[in-house]
Amino acid sequence: MSVPIERRLPNHALRALRQSLHMSQSEFARAVQHAGQALGEPNTCNKRLIQKWESGEHTDCRPNYRRALERVTRAPYDRLGFLNAGSVQPAPTPWRALAAIESLHGGRGQPVPAAYDRLRHAFEKPVRADAGSVELIEAATDRFFDREHHQRASVLQSALTRHIDAIAALLTGTSRDALRRRLTLAGGKSAALAGWLAFDQADTEGAHRWWDSALAAARTTGDGALFACALTYLSHSAAERGDPATAWQLAHTAAAHAGADPRTRAWTTGRAAQEAAQFGEAPTALNELNRAVKLGGELPPSTPGDGTPPWARFVDAAYIWAVAANVHGHLGNTIEAHTAATRAIAALAAGQTKIRALILAEAAYATAAVGEMDFAMNYASEAATLAETLESTPARRRLRALIPLLPRPLNAPARELVQHITID
């Protein structure tokens, strides 16, 4: 029987469970069908029925659907958010629910959009995690970092926010310390990436709230690598507001917490070198750069299962030599910058990624600085196309720095490039 629209209460618990499995409504419906077949109780579940359950239009389901749902979600029926669950679960402690939400959303100022919905859900519909669901969350978290290199921030942000919603829901209902730590770490990683996506879209305030959450997760879990990741992202924000000294301090501190992974260490040390060069500390910049090159100057591209933290998988020899070109360029060492850019291009792997756009932009600047305008224009044109397609703010920013180096009067290709990279 359908509930009148004005009396419907959304079934947040069922929705959160479905999202924790990373299934669309259609995929979830097919899973319920398959579970029914496995139980010897065929059903005709479809997307529309899932919508009715989640919207609160239907607050009950037949026994065979109950058993199929329990099989798919691995949760008892009384945890699925239906009104006739048969037994009333004790309400979660509000302070524990609030802590779970705030640990992922910063707990400072106004939370990210729709946080009030997540808080209400945390109070009313706790969901308990098991080892299997946590493994799914961890794998999905890592995949978001991979997707970031190939997708626009504006496209990925909403999916990542839903992922964080699912983590918050699971944290609220999970009491086992080992599982809570893993969920907190996954939430912290996701918050760090959400901050980077917000920053890439010029939402600095939102970015800092997410990074506060990531730092809180790093402190809670004692995970130095996550701490280093968040600080490195923060260094970009400090640089953007014109404070290279703070940016250097953040990156330098990140390098001290990066752990043993060579890609993470090369990334954080390279960032420190870039910011030291920005405020004219040449000896410090070159010292940091030498360490970064020793760590990453020969690194091949990352491969699945090599143990690299997800945020550092993009770091390889091509990226590190592009960093070297950037550092030397800011120090006025045009020959060294050109040499480093040449090595970056030689090591550059195929693929349409934001990092490729940034490396090409860096190479364009370094080659233009020594007068090799044909190479510079070729690199810049490809970088501009990628930067526009993927909305890569760092690449577009570096390309804009190239404009003063273009010979005057601008020829037709140069005018087209300038128009391409100055449109926001």
Q: Where are the domains of the chain?
A: 5-79, 90-222
DSSP result, 10-21: --HHHHHHHHHT
**Residue 19, token pair as written in the block:** 């999202």
Report whether 311 contacts 192 (CB < 8 A): yes
Q: Which of 230-244, 296-310, 400-414 has the lowest mean pLDDT?
A: 400-414
Confidence check: pLDDT of 409 > 60: yes
- Lowest mean pLDDT of 166-170, 205-209, 213-217, 267-271, name the range: 166-170
Q: What is the mean predicted confidence (pLDDT) over 68-87?
A: 76
Q: What is the pLDDT of residue 101?
A: 37
Contact in structure between 91 and 45 (CB atoms under 8 Å) = no
- The pLDDT of residue 83 is above 60: yes
Q: Which whole-number Å values give the CA distances from 77 to 13, 16, 56, 239, 256, in the listed order?
A: 11, 14, 16, 51, 48
Peptide bond before residue 409 is cis, with ω within 30 degrees of 0: yes
Looking up tokens 């804009």, which residue turns up? 400
Residue where the block lists tokens 């010292």: 287
Contact indicator for 235, 254 with CB cutoff of 8 Å:
yes
| pLDDT at res. 419 | 78
What is the pLDDT at residue 120?
40
Contacts of 314 (CB under 8 A, 6+ apart): 149, 302, 353, 355
Split at pLDDT 50, 70, 90, the class of 317 is very high
Tell me how far apart the alpha carbons of residues 171 and 133 are, in angstroms, rounded to a whole number. 12
How far is residue 286's CA from residue 270's CA, in Å, rounded to a whole number?
Answer: 10
pLDDT band at 132 (very low <50, low <70, confident <90, very high): confident
> If you count them, how many residues does the chain have?
424
Does the structure show a pLDDT above 70 at 313? yes
What radius of gyration do the chain's Cα atoms show?
25
What is the rounded average pLDDT of the residues 237-265? 93
- Provide the pLDDT for residue 334: 95
User: What pLDDT does 76 receive?
Assistant: 83
Torsions phi, psi for 74 (to 5 deg): 55, 35
Looking at residue 424, what is its pLDDT? 52
Q: Are 227 and 191 in contact (CB under 8 A)?
A: no
The CATH code of the domain at 5-79 is 1.10.260
Q: What is the pLDDT of residue 43?
A: 93
8 A C-beta contact, residue 424 and residue 392: no
For the stretch 337-377, pLDDT in tens is 999 999 999 999 888 899 999 999 999 999 999 999 999 99
pLDDT at 335: 96
Residue-level pLDDT at 423 = 53
Residue 116's pLDDT band (boundaries 50, 70, 90)? Answer: very low
Rounded CA-CA distance 203/370 in Å is 36
Average confidence score pLDDT of the chain: 85
pLDDT > 90 in the chain, percent = 53
Contacting residues for 79 by C-beta, under 8 A, at least 6 apart: 13, 17, 73, 85, 89, 127, 128
161 has a pLDDT exceeding 80: yes
DSSP state letters, 72-106: HH-S-GGGTT-TT-SSPPPPPPHHHHHHHHHHHH-
Q: Kindly indicate the confidence band of residue 166, based on its pLDDT and cuts at 50, 70 and 90.
A: confident
More confidently predicted of 240 and 120? 240
Q: How far is CA 317 from the centre of its chain?
A: 22
Please report which confidence band the pLDDT of residue 127 belongs to, taking 50, 70 and 90 as the band edges. low
What's the confidence (pLDDT) of residue 91?
32
Give the tokens for residue 205.
């305030």
- For 220, the token pair is 């809670």
Place of tokens 């980077």: 196
Residue 285's pLDDT is what?
96
Mean pLDDT of the 195-210 span: 92
Q: What is the pLDDT of residue 104?
A: 41
Q: Which two tokens stand for residue 55?
A: 């919207």
